[in-house]
A and B are shown apart, each in its own frame.
Chain A
Amino acid sequence: MAHIFTEANFQAEVLSSPVPVLVDFWAEWCGPCRVLGPIIEEIASEVDESKLKIGKVNVDQNAHLSTEHRVLSIPTMLIFKGGQEVGKIVGSMPKEELLAKLAPYLA
């Protein structure tokens, strides 16, 4: 299961995480997000969490987080490492393509 990140736990779960974290910014009313959602869940259930932690931020409920991290389009996936944003992937895509983009973190 993908983690649920919120304004309340973002510091602890994402920014202070010892492993890299993939954060999927999404919303209920965004069609492409609903296509990507199950793909994110699938990847989350398959990857080794000691290498990459995967979770989601609902922008409706956490508008502050999207503003702070300059998310202007959804779905957007941000990758954090050591509290820093190190990667940004915009838009929905098939699972294989997303896995290829995440490959550097899964090696």
Chain B
Amino acid sequence: MHNTIIIGSGPAGWTAAIYAARADLKPMVFEGYEPGGQLMTTTEVENFPGFEHGIQGPDLMSVMRKQAKRFETEIISAMVDSVKQIDGGFEVVSKGQTYQSKTVILSTGATARRLGLESEKALYGNGVSACATCDGFFFKGKNVIIVGGGDSAMEEATFLTRFAEKVFIVHRREEFRASKIMQERVKANSKIELILNSEVIEILGVDVGHVTGVKLRNTVSGETSEMNIDGVFASIGHEPNVALVKGLVDLDEKGYVKTIPGTSQTNIKGLFACGDVQDSRYRQAITAAGSGCMAALDVEKFLAGHE
């Protein structure tokens, strides 16, 4: 039986692995469907302490992975299909193979929310993008829409102006949730135009195989209109990846895994959670890493108390 299985490979998962490995627990990490997590689709990370001049998100994750590997972490590049409680621990199933572990650290993170439109799905990769930093490049001199009203929407809109001729921010409400500094940056940018009190109800172009426009609905008047556009990006928040433990652990009212305040302990003994899957509030690389450290120390203590 393994000491601990870590599910997820963002900053929380790798930090947990580094600490658990250094405590000689020989952790096993399942990297999942999107190894490296959300930082893999960011560019410059300027607020992770220790990198004076910033570091690219994917580079940061690659270094963390190497660091975990250096201390005898077993890495499995696969998704976990299920987790259940067994006598003395947990049973984790991945690709038809079963693994048993005394503890589990859940660090499955959160995934960007989509608009949830059929046309969005149909045109994904053909003008609909889930990654502004990956795909902005292909919209040189074109017009794009970004849906959202938070800091990351403002950040991505600003990033997209490097390539696009015009960036329209479509937001459901009159006011943005974004911080003042980000809003001001956006308002001062002549390439950005705001379309407020509006939502995208359909993406046009399914018939021709690429995005040609969008159908908008005014959230106040209910009126609909169409506009021509070449690309659609969405930045409308995140959903915690809890599918794996639904029904097993308690979730909070926002749907995130509930942990005992000040610890990484869930309501199930031996099951710990860290990173964005249990944090709807801070959601930073550094807080995720910090909570990953907490989870590994909690596991160490838990195992010591059981021997």
Interface residues of A (CB under 8 A from B): 27, 29-35, 59-60, 66, 70-74, 76, 88, 90-96
B193 at the interface (CB under 8 A from A): no
Q: Are A72 and B34 in contact (CB under 8 A)?
A: no
B13 at the interface (CB under 8 A from A): no
CB within 8 Å for A32 and B134 given contacts A70-B210, A91-B125: yes
Residues of chain A within 8 A (CB-CB) of B72 are none
- Among B41, B126, B137, the residue within 8 A (CB) of A31 is B41
Residues of chain B within 8 A (CB-CB) of A76 are 125
Number of B residues, CB within 8 Å of A: 33
Residues of chain A within 8 A (CB-CB) of B129 are 72-73
Interface residues of B (CB under 8 A from A): 33-36, 39-43, 56-58, 61-62, 77-79, 95, 124-127, 129-131, 133-135, 137-139, 210, 231
- Among B34, B127, B137, the residue within 8 A (CB) of A32 is B34
CB within 8 Å for A30 and B134 given contacts A35-B35, A94-B78, A96-B95: yes
Q: Give Cα A56–Cα B56 distance, bound, in whole angstroms.
A: 22
Q: Give Cα A74–Cα B138 distance, bound, in whole angstroms.
A: 9
Least Cβ–Cβ distance between A64 and chain B, in angstroms: 12
Q: Are A32 and B41 in contact (CB under 8 A)?
A: yes
CB within 8 Å for A73 and B34 given contacts A29-B43, A30-B134, A66-B138: no
Q: Are B210 and A72 in contact (CB under 8 A)?
A: yes
Least Cβ–Cβ distance between A74 and chain B, in angstroms: 5
Q: Give Cα A29–Cα B137 distance, bound, in whole angstroms.
A: 10
Residues of chain A within 8 A (CB-CB) of B126 are 70, 72-73
The 7 closest A-B pairs by CB, nearest first: A90-B125, A31-B40, A31-B58, A30-B134, A73-B125, A73-B135, A72-B138
- Among A35, A73, A91, the residue within 8 A (CB) of B138 is A73
Q: Give Cα A31–Cα B45 distance, bound, in whole angstroms.
A: 13
Q: Are B125 and A33 in contact (CB under 8 A)?
A: no
> Number of contacts between A and B (CB, 8 Å)?
76
Least Cβ–Cβ distance between A66 and chain B, in angstroms: 7
25 sample A-B contacts, Cβ–Cβ < 8 Å, listed by A number: A27-B134, A27-B137, A29-B43, A31-B133, A31-B134, A32-B34, A34-B40, A34-B58, A35-B35, A70-B210, A72-B135, A72-B139, A72-B210, A73-B126, A73-B129, A73-B134, A74-B134, A74-B135, A76-B125, A90-B125, A91-B125, A93-B33, A94-B33, A94-B77, A96-B95
Q: Are B77 and A31 in contact (CB under 8 A)?
A: no
Q: Give Cα A90–Cα B78 distance, bound, in whole angstroms.
A: 19
Residues of chain B within 8 A (CB-CB) of A34 are 40, 58, 62
Q: Are B127 and A72 in contact (CB under 8 A)?
A: yes
Which residue of B has the minimal Cβ distance to A59? B137
Which residue of A has the minimal Cβ distance to B78? A94
Residues of chain A within 8 A (CB-CB) of B35 are 35
- Among B61, B130, B133, B231, the residue within 8 A (CB) of A29 is B133
Q: Are A73 and B131 in contact (CB under 8 A)?
A: yes
Least Cβ–Cβ distance between A106 and chain B, in angstroms: 19
Which residue of B has the minimal Cβ distance to A27? B137
Residues of chain A within 8 A (CB-CB) of B39 are 31
Q: Are B34 and A92 in contact (CB under 8 A)?
A: yes
Q: Are A29 and B125 in contact (CB under 8 A)?
A: no
CB within 8 Å for A95 and B134 given contacts A29-B43, A32-B40: no
Q: Give Cα A33–Cα B43 distance, bound, in whole angstroms.
A: 13
Residues of chain A within 8 A (CB-CB) of B62 are 34
